[in-house]
Structure 1
Amino acid sequence: MPRTEQQFAAIREKSKAKFLRTALELFANYGYHSTSISQIAKSAGVAKGSLYHYFESKEQLLEAVFMQGLNELDGLFEEIDMEAAPEDKLTQLLDLSISSLQKEKHFWQLYFALITQMKLPEVLRKRLQPVMNEMFTFFNILFQELGAEEPESEAKLLAATFDGICLHYLMMGEEYPLEKVKEKLLGMYIGKR
């Protein structure tokens, strides 16, 4: 019996997801510039030309991988109970962020590799900016609720501190005392720990 359009669509989506996962892993492990379309196709177990049915270029593939990760990052804010006390919101944010860091290690490796480049591709910069703006707005409001004298500065300090925590975790892996550092960071801001 011939396949239906829905079956073909499901197969296409499954193939596209496999390409995205494979590209993410290779970009994270070897870098975007050091990874070729041929390597991605070989790791995905398909012919090189198959990739071009889904993505016109390696840059478009990178964009799709990056956007998928940013969309998940966007979703973190939706999981926070905005009616909770500010201390609880900060705890939820750090818990969700650390969980994402542990589960999506390849995305975070790629994310930090890309944002620390001198020239982030414009299409990625445009997509990243609203996410960063939302994060800083959330942090700023959070520190206002916590009674900080300079909420904007505190927001930037928290973001920079958490970036450093992420980078150390990515470099050291499971040796890094992520939970202890998180508790220490919470203690600095809410004094409960």
Structure 2
Amino acid sequence: MFRIPLALPLLLLPSLLACGTTDPQPQGCERFEFALAPEASALHVTCSSTSCGNGLNPPTAGRHCSSTLSCRVHDTEQPSCVWLHNLEHGHAVFLYNCPEGCPEEVAKLEEAQRSARRGGNDVPRALVAPDPNIPNRVAAILWRRAYLTDSADPEALRCLLALQDQDAPEPGLSCAP
């Protein structure tokens, strides 16, 4: 007969109690609110479709293309219909709208991109791209959540990334470099 030593269950108890509990607001993040947008369809559409997103600017969920973008810093605008699929996978998307240039803001977004959760291939699951259509200079987006500002607070970006995967329909998926 196989016997489990009494110490083994006691050692596993803290791990079992921790299962299913997450701290949605890490310490110091109480001052930031990243409200959830209403539920939206996660259906795939053709990339030529004009019915992508959930009607928000920038979109935080909704219909999207079946392809994703590589998780890196892009120097040209990327179609929202494509990066919405990244959001569905739990990736973060960092956008900036600075026609006159804003290297200090882009540097903050690039730092946040490097600190995003990594996939099984060790690639940070986030991308950075310019977007002339967003209403502010900076947008940091997760599925159904957005942080819009004219000057990114690195602490707010850290706090938003703490919510990465939390609401995504297909969380935790790796991203191509």
TM bucket (normalised to shorter chain) is under 0.3
Q: Which has the higher contact order (CA 8 A, sep 6+)?
A: 2
Judging by fraction of residues, say which structure has more strand.
Answer: 2
Larger Rg: 1
- Structure 2 length as normaliser, TM-score? 0.22
- Structure 1 length as normaliser, TM-score? 0.21
